[in-house]
Amino acid sequence: MTPFPRTYTVCMLNIEEGVMGDVVAGTLFGKGPMKREDEVIGRLRDWANGNDSVRAVVLVGSRVEPDSRPDDLSDYDIELYVNDIQPFMNDDWLAHFGEVMVRWPLQPMSTFSQDWLTRLVLFKNRVRIDFQITTMDSIEPSAYDGGHRALVDKDALTRELDEATFSEYIIKKPAKEEYEALVNGFFWEATYVAKSLCRDELHFAKFMLDSAMRFEYLQRMIEWHIGEEQDWSVATGVCGRFFKRYLDSSTLVSTS
């Protein structure tokens, strides 16, 4: 689905019985041809049109963003607008799209918002669909500034939406105070790394280096560097996903 807050942590995935062997063998994405996008979209439409409780199906994320480069492994970020949430409180309905291999969370629940029910699913046919499900009967005009494609809209919920500007995730130029606070924070966290190494506390040192310093501070500085180089007109994805597109090879290697 769309970047944060609708992203999730990979380590929280629930591996269901019989799956781990396939993962270890490296065959999770290696069996048979991938379903084409039109096949997946067609199945979603057919299911929604035959289900009266589903009022709208909206595709978002990488498959609608103009600068993204979706491939066979890209998921389908789907937002469902329904008039009854109860049929989605168990996962029987997922069988329409294939046999489930991995899902997150293990049981249907809200994750990023109480207004939305989350079902992130990888099927054994290698299609991944990230469902967010809501009973909201209206949509804020600016809700889909990152782009959308209405696959089904029985009640014209998407008719009056604002035109997408695709600016939500563009890197923003920091204020002087924000920049100085980031630099200061980076060097403050560095003291923990040095102290932990002196104490032979390697695991804590690596946590502070890789989690705090790298992903809370250095990553943001790299984003600002790219923003400056690209005239504050690009997005680099969650957790530096697209850094490789914008960094020269030496900078990429030295910051990886």
Q: Where are the domains of the chain?
A: 10-153, 176-254
pTM: 0.79
What is the structure's pLDDT at 5?
42
Confidence of residue 67 (pLDDT cuts 50, 70, 90): confident
Alpha helix ranges (H) inside the chain: 20-24, 37-49, 176-198, 202-207, 219-229, 243-246, 249-254
Mean pLDDT to the nearest integer, 85-109: 96
Q: Looking at the predicted structure, is the pLDDT value of residue 237 above 60?
A: yes
- The torsion region of residue 87 among left (phi > 0), alpha (psi -120 to 50) and beta comes to alpha
Mean pLDDT to the nearest integer, 165-191: 95
Helix, coil or strand: residue 118: strand
Tokens of 206: 């690596």
Say which CATH topology domain 10-153 has: Beta Polymerase; domain 2 (3.30.460)
Q: Looking at the predicted structure, is the pLDDT value of residue 53 above 80?
A: yes
- State the Rg of the chain over Cα: 21
| 127 within 8 A of 40, measured Cβ to Cβ | yes
Confidence of residue 13 (pLDDT cuts 50, 70, 90): very low
What is the average pLDDT score of the chain?
88
Helix, coil or strand: residue 76: strand
In tens, the pLDDT along 125-155 reads 999 999 999 999 999 999 999 999 999 999 9
Residue recorded with tokens 């990429």: 252
Q: How far apart are CA 129 and CA 103, in angstroms?
A: 10
**How many Cα atoms are found within 13 Å in the side-chain-facing hemisphere of 250?**
0
Helix, coil or strand: residue 96: helix
